[in-house]
């Protein structure tokens, strides 16, 4: 049987990147997506905005919802301060299998914990199972209809503190209208839109950065 797109993306990393060099992994995936097959990574243009927020927050503890092939996991992981941790949740076992190999190839396995399962079940277990108090940064990039329920779940589980940053991908395309309305209208968030484009295309998309006010 044929390979899947994530498997072909992984082959491109193994062929064109250097083991232990996260930037070469990022470049290999971007080259693959620009010149061979589109894939739903946050991409190079929105990736620069993601990088700037990660550097600004310099999180001791970060959460990613939606690993896919691990592209944004590597982008975030390579910028974490020493001793910091990134937990990334993935529902699809085939995506997780590829992502683990991409994260390992980049040499970031000590900083990143990939957990398989549905976010709705895993978020309430974060404190007891992974010893999390609160997340300094949350990157939302999973199913677009899960952004709002999972944000409410993070609030209810006491996983956000005054100043925690939520950064959401795809708020225009495919779009997350209920999430956007919530963070932009709630007095508990200060929200800002970063206009960009859907990865590897000219279609409009953007990231929404929301500060939890407690």
Ligand X SMILES: O=C(NCCc1nnc(-c2ccc3[nH]cnc3c2)[nH]1)c1cc(-c2ccc(F)cc2)cc(O)c1O
Residues of this chain that interact with ligand X (CB under 6 A) are 40, 65-66, 68, 89-92, 95, 118-119, 141-143, 146, 169-170, 173-174, 198-199
Instruction: Rank residues 10 and 198 by Cβ distance to Mg ion and give the closer one.
Output: 198
H-helix or E-strand spanning residue 52 = helix 43-57
Instruction: Rank residues 154 and 198 by Cβ distance to ligand X and give the closer one.
Output: 198
Catalytic residue among 46, 170, 205, 208: 170
Q: Is 141 a catalytic residue?
A: yes
Instruction: Indicate the SS3 state at residue 141.
Output: coil
Binding partner of 68, given ligand X, Mg ion, none, CB within 5-8 angstroms per partner class: ligand X
Residue 182 CA to residue 58 CA, distance in Å, equals: 26
Binding partner of 209, given Mg ion, ligand X, none, CB within 5-8 angstroms per partner class: none
Which alpha helices (H) appear in 58-172, and where do they start and end? Answer: 71-77, 93-105, 119-122, 126-130, 147-156
Phi, psi of 50 (to 5 degrees): -60, -45
Instruction: Rank residues 101 and 188 by Cβ distance to ligand X and give the closer one.
Output: 101
**DSSP conformation letters of 13-49:** HHHHS-TT-HHHHHHHHHHHHHHT----S-HHHHHHH
Residue 141 near Mg ion by CB under 5 A: yes
Q: Is 94 a catalytic residue?
A: no
Binding partner of 173, given Mg ion, ligand X, none, CB within 5-8 angstroms per partner class: ligand X
List the one residue from 169, 172, 180, 200 that touches Mg ion (CB under 5 A).
Answer: 169
What sign results for the dihedral spanned by CA atoms 126, 127, 130, 136? positive
Catalytic residue among 64, 169, 205, 208: 169
Instruction: Rank residues 38 and 184 by Cβ distance to ligand X and give the closer one.
Output: 38
Residue 170 near Mg ion by CB under 5 A: yes
Contact between 117 and 124 (Cβ < 8 Å): no
Residue 205's contacts (CB-CB under 8 Å, 6 or more residues apart) are: 46, 169, 170, 171, 172, 173, 196, 197, 198, 199
Binding partner of 183, given ligand X, Mg ion, none, CB within 5-8 angstroms per partner class: none
Catalytic residue among 199, 205, 208, 209: 199
Residue 123 CA to residue 208 CA, distance in Å, equals: 21
Q: Is 205 a catalytic residue?
A: no
Q: Is 97 a catalytic residue?
A: no
> Active-site residues: which are they?
141, 144, 169-170, 199
């Amino acid at each position: 049987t044929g390979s899947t797109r994530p498997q072909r993306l992984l082959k491109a990393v193994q062929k064109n990147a250097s083991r232990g060099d996260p930037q070469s992994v990022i470049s290999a995936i971007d080259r693959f997506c620009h010149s061979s097959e589109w894939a739903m990574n946050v991409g190079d243009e929105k990736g620069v905005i993601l990088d700037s927020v990660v550097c600004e927050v310099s999180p001791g503890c970060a959460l990613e919802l939606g690993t896919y092939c691990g592209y944004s996991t590597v982008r975030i992981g390579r910028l974490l301060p020493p001793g910091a941790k990134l937990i990334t949740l993935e529902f699809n076992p085939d995506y997780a299998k590829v992502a683990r190999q991409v994260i390992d190839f980049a040499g970031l396995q000590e900083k990143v914990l990939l957990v398989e399962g549905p976010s709705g079940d895993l978020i309430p277990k974060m404190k007891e199972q992974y010893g999390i108090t609160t997340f300094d940064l949350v990157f939302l990039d999973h199913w677009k209809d899960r952004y709002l329920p999972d944000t409410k779940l993070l609030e209810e589980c006491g996983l956000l503190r005054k100043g925690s940053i939520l950064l959401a991908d795809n708020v225009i395309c495919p779009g997350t209208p209920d999430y956007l309305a919530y963070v932009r209208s709630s007095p508990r968030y200060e929200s800002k839109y970063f206009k960009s484009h859907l990865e590897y295309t000219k279609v409009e998309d953007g990231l929404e950065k929301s500060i939890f006010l407690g």
